[in-house]
Amino acid sequence: MTLPSQLTLEVVTPDRSLVSQLVDEVQIPGAEGYFGVLPGHTPLLVTMNVGELWYRNGQQRSFLSIALGFAEVLPDRVTILAKVAECAEDIDVERAQLARQRAEERLTQRAVDSDGERARLSLLRSRTRLQVASQSLR
Ligand code: ATP
């Protein structure tokens, strides 16, 4: 059996498609940790955490912020069904900074605001967005 030389990457959210193209490699923010996928990878279905996803074409890497969802890996295809996702260049940095500030304030006032888990996830999303946006400026 010949190994595929590239992967077809699809990244979708419930309301839009963000990526649909051939790539050389993908890194996925799996719930159990980040993992890399090259063509010919063993089939896999995993849940995703909040984190950075990147894909590579030659030397060129592109970055996305991902918040939860599923990833299906096949030898020649990776399908990302994200609950929420943005490409690095579409991230509104000011909005993410304000969201991070709000989440940090909610976490420090946890005694009065009992929804600490929501604040923790919001903080993680905003930090990830800021990290991903900074990658696109490199
Ligand atoms: P905020 O508090 O700034 O609204 P949030 O974390 O509550 O952020 P989400 O629920 O994660 O927002 O996302 C809601 C929608 O807004 C999604 O479509 C998401 O892609 C988009 N979104 C959220 N933050 C940003 C951002 N900083 N830049 C671009 N799109 C964003």
Q: Of 86, 106, 124, which is best to mutate to test ligand 1, by the most ligand atoms within 8 angstroms of its C-beta?
A: 86
Closest-lying ligand 1 atom to the alpha carbon of residue 125 = 6
Domains and CATH numbers, the chain: 7-88 (2.60.15.10), 91-135 (1.20.5.440)
Which residue CA neighbors atom 15 of ligand 1 most closely? Answer: 84
Amino acid in position 97:
Q
- The CA 72 to ligand 1 mean position distance, Å, reads 24
What is the pTM assigned to this prediction?
0.92
Query: Would you say the CB of residue 7 lies under 6 angstroms from ligand 1?
Result: no
Which residue CA neighbors atom 18 of ligand 1 most closely? Answer: 84
Look at residue 130 in the predicted model and tell me its pLDDT: 98
Q: Of 125, 130, 134, which is best to mutate to test ligand 1, by the most ligand atoms within 8 angstroms of its C-beta?
A: 125
Look at residue 109 in the predicted model and tell me its pLDDT: 82
Q: Of 63, 95, 100, 115, which is best to mutate to test ligand 1, by the most ligand atoms within 8 angstroms of its C-beta?
A: 95
Rounded CA separation 34/21 (Å): 21
Give pLDDT tens digits along the chain (138 positions). Answer: 688 899 999 999 999 999 999 999 999 999 999 999 999 999 999 999 999 999 999 999 999 999 999 999 999 999 999 999 999 999 999 999 999 999 999 988 865 656 888 999 999 999 999 999 998 766
Residues composing the chain:
138
